[in-house]
Structure 1
Amino acid sequence: MKNVLLALTAVAAMTGSAFAADMAPRTYAKAPVAAPVVTNWTGCYLGAGGGAAMTNNDNNLYDPVTGLAFTGNQTNGARGWFGTVQAGCDYQFGNWVVGAFGDYDFMDVRGDVSLFPGTSGQQKQDWQWAVGGRVGYLIVPQLLTYVSGGYTQAHWQSTTLNAFGFGPVLTSPGFTKSGWFIGTGDEYALTTFLPGLFWKTEYRYSEFDRQNGPINDFATGLPFGANSTQKLREHSVRSELVYRFNWGGAVVAKY
């Protein structure tokens, strides 16, 4: 009987030890924390939007033979709106983004102009295109701030000049002028609304080559005997929605 009790005691002790070991808290290995995945700015894109533009025209008349000025310099202004379409490609390395783009503006920018004393008319800019590049830095993963610059070209329609508020007497032919631009802006990723959707806003300054050309008689179309010289400068603010077609995987950047 004594041997039986000793055997039962030994079995109970071993069973309790096993049960206690089984009830001990278990430890689990934590998965490694992955680096944060941010918006991928590498890829090509299409954009569309619009904006407002303001143009200053510094002009005067001169003798086409001697080059002497007939009138003093005067400045005329034009204001208006435009719609724009754009295409481009960007490449991201770390927090930096570089890219190239081109855009075309459908414009209605017009203002009064007086190229000859006693005359007045309305000058209109109707289109402009530009190609260039940009360099930007990611302030946060979704926000890019950048500077841009490049080549631009714009067209102004012919202007009919009235004399002292009466019928047309002179015409200033239309012209196309080339120039350069610089700009600055920001672009924000709207990926919470739609993957690939971005919103871009930019201020741009453009300056064009000087336009020298004849003033013509309205009735005959012959040169009137005086030429005009015009220097045009433009300020514009544009805002557009951009859809980006990303290539490759997500980019990891440090902030």
Structure 2
Amino acid sequence: MKKLFAVMACGAAMPAMVAPALADGPFSLKDTPVQVEAPSWSGVYFGVSGGYGHNHSKNNYHDSDDTTSSKNEFADGGLVSLIYGIDRQVGSRFVVGAFADFSVSELNRGNEDIHNAMTIDRSWAIGARAGVLVNERTLVYATGGYTQAHFSNDGWWDIDTDDTTAHGKGGQNFGGYFVGGGVERQISDNFYLRGEARYSDFSGRITNSGTVDGVDYVDREVPSIWTVQAGLVYKLDRSKVLNPDPITEDRGPKVITYSGIDAANDAVAYYGGTVFGLSGDLYKNGFLLRTQGIIADYNYKAGEPDNSTVDADDRSLDIMLGYQWVFSNWSAIAYLGYEVRNVHLSPFDPNNDVRGGADGFKVAVELETDDESPLYGSLEGSYSTAFNSYYAEARVGYNAKTFIIGPESSVYSDEGDLATRVGAFATIPFHLWWSGLPAKLTFNVGQQFVNNSGETRAGGEGAYGGSMLRVDF
């Protein structure tokens, strides 16, 4: 009876409790505060940055005649970097993480035209960062870690005497520590814009040593480098790495990555790139950010007088801003950006204009039909002021939905050295089994014709072939 009475009492009291609320009007969802989830800074990321670098070195010389000298040397120029890392947000205010980056640079001193120059052509770093969130979308952070930079000598470390030239090392890696700091801003769910300054201090290394006219000598360089860069990174929450959001007709990919290999007579090139859809959907009109890197190795005959074989190491990295127009069954993209490229020849070949370091503006255009068109077509081209390089490729093919196959042709040129290709390609679309992400695998093969002895990274005359993997995120 007591339990029944208690229930009846509560039921009788409820109208009285509700009445004052109803007197002010019925309840509305409009009056409910919207709960906005604070963004999380935890996740893995990759990205690209570009900027300016300045080198200051101490050149210290000493020999057995007690001759010593110490002088300041400087180099500066542009650089482009690829960034990879992981972050962890601690509480509501702090972020810690680890990262690695790789840079291609064009920090020069001296004059390459007279074989008296030095270039800092590449570097890498691994380190950690820790920062404070000044608000939910803005991070101020500090960095530190280990770094290594490669200095390429083109006569700068040589020592000339009255009778001879004591040649310095052809290249040298310098290792040391770095410290830095920056500001990062979340501009959308997955994209983050950052600006960062870094100071790197390297241990001294011997660049030239030996004995000339009975005098023992040692030449040593002790460098440091300042860099300032701006970059864009794409971050995935840890739960999205293996289980990303599905790509549908209504929601396109935010990022496209690709990597591949290209081989020809006496040449092989490895390349990779990333396209970021700044609007968050690569199926729609909008701005893009693209970066592409190439590592090429090739050799050729230098010709008279000694007909020696020259080995070439060719490295380039670009960063480009573009805009995409999407139409009913095709799309068009135009890019404008900056490229850094370094070509090291061993032995030195003064007759090859494609040598040393170069940087400059780069433009590119791309036209392509969509995945549903039964007749596939693509046309792309680019031009860079670095070694006056241009490239163009055209493809047409039959699209059977499960594969695309057809002929292709292309031209590539560095400083007037021309390579022309005619061949065929095949593309197979599929989905990655562990994540369901859409991907494409392309193969190509054909014949290459050149107007020289293969003095560019396209290689010499003969057969060519390659493959490329593309993944959409």
Q: TM-score, normalising length from structure 2?
A: 0.41
CA positional deviation for 1:55: 0.4
Identity over aligned pairs, percent = 25
Q: Which residue of 1 aligns with 2:202?
A: 208
Q: Which residue of 1 aligns with 2:88?
A: 91
The whole-number CA distance in structure 2 between the counterparts of 1:214 and 1:248 is 52
Instruction: Say whether 1:226 aligns with 2:223.
Output: no
SS of aligned partner of 1:242: strand
Instruction: Say whether 1:155 aligns with 2:150.
Output: yes
Q: Which residue of 1 aligns with 2:51?
A: 51
Larger-gyration structure (1/2): 1
Q: Select which of 68, 71, 74 maps to 1:74.
A: 71
Q: Select which of 98, 101, 110 maps to 2:99.
A: 101
Q: Which residue of 2 aligns with 1:11?
A: none
The whole-number CA distance in structure 2 between the counterparts of 1:240 and 1:29 is 45
SS of aligned partner of 2:69: coil
The amino acid of 2:89's aligned partner reads Q
SS of aligned partner of 1:28: coil
Query: Cα distance 1:121–1:225, how it changes in 2: closer, same or farther (>3 A)?
Result: farther
Query: Cα distance 1:157–1:224, how it changes in 2: closer, same or farther (>3 A)?
Result: farther
The amino acid of 1:206's aligned partner reads S
The whole-number CA distance in structure 2 between the counterparts of 1:170 and 1:86 is 39
Q: Which residue of 2 aligns with 1:172?
A: 168
Q: Do 1:60 and 1:70's aligned partners in 2 also have CA atoms closer than 8 Å?
A: no
CA positional deviation for 1:158: 2.3
CA positional deviation for 1:38: 1.9
Q: Do 2:88 and 2:97's aligned partners in 1 also have CA atoms closer than 8 Å?
A: yes
Instruction: Say whether 1:39 aligns with 2:36.
Output: no
Question: Structure 1: where are the runs of 5+ without partners?
Answer: 1-22, 114-119, 250-255
Q: Do 1:172 and 1:216's aligned partners in 2 also have CA atoms closer than 8 Å?
A: no
Query: Cα distance 1:25–1:42, how it changes in 2: closer, same or farther (>3 A)?
Result: closer
CA positional deviation for 1:202: 0.4
The whole-number CA distance in structure 1 between the counterparts of 2:73 and 2:181 is 26
Q: Deviations over 1:199-218 (max 9, x none)?
A: 1110000001111243469x
The whole-number CA distance in structure 2 between the counterparts of 1:24 and 1:186 is 52
Q: Which residue of 2 aligns with 1:132?
A: 127
Q: Do 2:172 and 2:207's aligned partners in 1 also have CA atoms closer than 8 Å?
A: no
Question: Structure 2: where are the runs of 5+ without partners?
Answer: 1-21, 241-473
Instruction: Give the superposed CA RMSD.
Output: 3.2
Q: TM-score, normalising length from structure 1?
A: 0.73
Instruction: Say whether 1:238 aligns with 2:229.
Output: yes
Q: Which residue of 1 aligns with 2:137?
A: 142
Query: Cα distance 1:199–1:224, how it changes in 2: closer, same or farther (>3 A)?
Result: farther
Q: Deviations over 1:130-159 (max 9, x none)?
A: 000000111111110100000001111124
CA positional deviation for 1:111: 1.0
The whole-number CA distance in structure 1 between the counterparts of 2:138 and 2:66 is 51
Query: Cα distance 1:190–1:224, how it changes in 2: closer, same or farther (>3 A)?
Result: farther
Q: Deviations over 1:209-235 (max 9, x none)?
A: 111243469xx9xx9842102110110
Q: Do 1:85 and 1:105's aligned partners in 2 also have CA atoms closer than 8 Å?
A: yes
The count of aligned residue pairs is 211
SS of aligned partner of 2:68: coil
Query: Cα distance 1:163–1:213, how it changes in 2: closer, same or farther (>3 A)?
Result: closer
